[in-house]
Chains A and B, each alone.
Chain A
Amino acid sequence: MARRITYQLAINEALDQEMARDETVIVMGEDVVGGTGASGEMDAWGGVLGVTKGLYAKYGDRIMDSPISESALVGAAVGAAATGMRPVCELMFIDFLGVCFDQIYNQAAKFRYMFGGKAETPVVIRTMYGAGFRAAAQHSQCLYNIFTHVPGLKVVMPSSPYDAKGLLIQAIRDNDPVIFCEHKALYAMEGDVPEESYTIPFGEANIVREGSDVTIVALGRMVIQAGKAAAALAKEGISCEIVDPRTTSPFDEDTVLESVENTGRLVIVDESNPRCSMATDISSLVAQKGFSSLKAPIQMVTAPHSPVPFSGALEDLYIPSPAKIEAAVRLVANY
């Protein structure tokens, strides 16, 4: 039965249900318990934003704090996955990929291919991304495109509590390495989520809103921004269809192309920096395979080619806003 819970709780519930179902599922990360070795309470934090809170009481040593050593932590998760466990490793902020990327893209991603098909590495790396917290340049980035570039990795970015739970359960059961990207500004978002366990397959986009004039492909938190824009535009008589790919690797090309075939116009909303991004990737896809459907040039609404600023005034300018999305939609609608 569904009830309204937060994105954060949906993730917690997915972890809880999978740990209960399969004892090879283990959780590791920096302060995913919190308090280890200290004189106060255990499960003091349950993750830096409390996402794993309560799992320690149920699963004890199957959830473990790590020293602040992302290479060893992620590498240990990868090594444990290759030898029979299903680790869910928390890389606190996606920005920290710089200190552990080798273990992800040179090790986990390549084992199966390099070893002639003989390795299985069912690791999930949960990581928090995105701007909006005044967390500045090293704690706010959208680096999912970097992972998407790497063959051997799957990349997931849920935009709702329902998707967060179903996609995370799928990620844990999946036998390939998965990067699970959680937008920090979505943790408090509420939505209908079934109590029971369920999975959402990878590579199947979700049509969040149906429409006939313009296709908006939006990723992660930008699905919410696009929804606000679409609601405003509907009042002007512009009907937007919002496609949420849900996973950037694998990517559901067919749903995007079919939508553009129906609308003839495409706006892509991607919170990442614009160069070599999901926005350019999707533009390229539609330019190559959907060219004859297009009635207007493709528009990209993205962050600028700059680091994420600290100042709230600047960060608000940095993040793609509903107003910018509306402007892009009007431009293609009136082309």
Chain B
Amino acid sequence: MSIDLSVEDLLDAYRTMKTIREFEERVHVEFAKGGIPGFVHLYAGEEASATGVCMNLRETDYIASNHRGHGHCIAKGVEVDGMMAEIYGKRSGTCHGKGGSMHIADLDVGMMGANGIVGGGPPLVCGAGLTAKMKGNGGVALAFFGDGASNQGTTFESLNLATVWKLPVVFVAENNGYAEATAASWSVSCEDISTRAQGFGMPGVTVDGHDFFAVHKATKEAVERARNGGGPTLIECKLDRFFGHFEGDNQNYRAKDEVKDIRENKDCIKRFSKTLLSDTAITTDDLAAIDKEVQALIDNATAKAIADQEPGAADLLTDVYIKY
């Protein structure tokens, strides 16, 4: 295949995907040990989507995410140390322990927040897109949401509004086959979520979400269209999650060996690595060096998060308002 990305970009993409994977695998292990409070939804298996999408965005562009948001955060440039500490509810966390896994946000890098409400993000990116349009700064705003949120009224309203207001917005539906424990093949009324785009007057495309290159290409076109005043696009990435809806989900709604098969045959990182090694000058040593670097990053972030202080009583009532 012809690859129009530099070796540096490809290695960056590998590093991002690997960072997400190791982050999530570690959170899975640490959650099982009992150190992580609350609800945690892991992104492992879907790395090609967040990475392939966000590589097309500038730091000043905005994304809104969902409950399965760790991958989007990492791909948009949120610091891993702060994220891990946030998931542990610690003071040095990205949100000082007041958000947790479902609410990690860092507006400084254009991350408008993971979101505990399914369908919460699409209206918000219409607003971020409106800001870019009003300021004429060439900015783009992009919403990640799942097959579950693809059935929410907020999403439909946002698709319509983005077209009506000609907003520089991209909608990325990550269809991992399940809204919680209910199959998308049952709950989504059409074969491909992207076909809904037609009803809202925008281009829609479905791509193989396990394929970094396919995601990257589709997003590149959509982001360019948005930046150039061509309005919104709906992209559907069909992909799979390695873990359950949330940590603790016994996944008894999935077929026997389904996850084993996905891990063996549909792992987006394995697929990406294979292409890098066969079609570029990148070597196994290059990838091994990144693996080692990522491992150290995650080890360090986890150790720091565990050792960090909890917030105290003085933090309870800060930042409810700017001024009250």
A115 to B65, CA, bound (A): 14
Which of A64, A83, A87, A175 has the largest number of chain B CB atoms within 10 A? A83
A67 to B117, CA, bound (A): 23
Interface size (B, Cβ < 8 Å)? Answer: 49
Residues of A within 8 A of B112 (CB): 79, 82-83
Chain A positions 58-106 with a Cβ under 8 Å from a chain B Cβ? 61-62, 64, 66-67, 69, 71-85, 87, 102-103, 106
Q: Report yes or no: B126 in contact with A76, Cβ–Cβ below 8 A.
A: yes
Among the listed stretches B27-35, B151-159, B284-292, B294-302, which one makes contact with chain A, having 4 or more residues with CB under 8 Å of it? B151-159
Question: With an 8 A cutoff between CB atoms, is A113 at the interface?
Answer: yes
Question: With an 8 A cutoff between CB atoms, is A307 at the interface?
Answer: no
Residues of B within 8 A of A64 (CB): 165
CB A118 to nearest CB in B, in angstroms, measures: 6
CB < 8 Å: which of A84, A152, A203 contacts B320? A152
Q: Report yes or no: A116 in contact with B95, Cβ–Cβ below 8 A.
A: yes
Q: Report yes or no: A115 in contact with B323, Cβ–Cβ below 8 A.
A: no
Q: Report yes or no: B120 in contact with A107, Cβ–Cβ below 8 A.
A: yes
Residue on B nearest A84 in the bound complex, by CB = B131
A106 to B123, CA, bound (A): 13
Question: With an 8 A cutoff between CB atoms, is A253 at the interface?
Answer: no
Chain B positions 269-324 with a Cβ under 8 Å from a chain A Cβ? 318-324
Residue on A nearest B62 in the bound complex, by CB = A83
Q: What does the 1/0 interface line of A102-139 toward B look like (CB < 8 Å)? A: 11001100111111111110000000000000000000
Q: Report yes or no: A102 in contact with B154, Cβ–Cβ below 8 A.
A: yes
Q: Report yes or no: B99 in contact with A114, Cβ–Cβ below 8 A.
A: yes
Which of B93, B116, B127, B164 has the largest number of chain A CB atoms within 10 A? B127
Residues of A within 8 A of B164 (CB): 67
Q: Report yes or no: B154 in contact with A72, Cβ–Cβ below 8 A.
A: yes
Q: Report yes or no: B128 in contact with A80, Cβ–Cβ below 8 A.
A: yes
Q: Report yes or no: A151 in contact with B320, Cβ–Cβ below 8 A.
A: yes
Among the listed stretches B17-25, B102-110, B216-224, B255-263, which one makes contact with chain A, having 4 or more residues with CB under 8 Å of it? B102-110
Q: Report yes or no: B322 in contact with A106, Cβ–Cβ below 8 A.
A: no
Question: With an 8 A cutoff between CB atoms, is A176 at the interface?
Answer: yes
Q: Report yes or no: A69 in contact with B319, Cβ–Cβ below 8 A.
A: no
Question: With an 8 A cutoff between CB atoms, is B124 at the interface?
Answer: yes
A118 to B319, CA, bound (A): 9
7 interchain residue pairs of minimum CB distance: A75-B123, A79-B127, A116-B95, A72-B157, A79-B124, A80-B127, A117-B319
Given contacts A71-B123, A107-B124, 14 further A-B contacts (CB under 8 A): A26-B134, A72-B158, A79-B130, A79-B131, A80-B131, A82-B128, A112-B319, A112-B320, A114-B105, A115-B99, A116-B98, A120-B322, A152-B321, A203-B324
- Can you list 26 A-B contacts with CB-CB less than 8 angstroms, sorted by A residue number? A26-B134, A62-B134, A64-B165, A67-B157, A69-B157, A71-B153, A74-B123, A75-B124, A78-B123, A79-B123, A79-B126, A80-B128, A80-B131, A102-B117, A103-B124, A103-B154, A106-B117, A107-B120, A112-B321, A115-B98, A115-B99, A115-B113, A116-B93, A118-B95, A119-B105, A175-B323
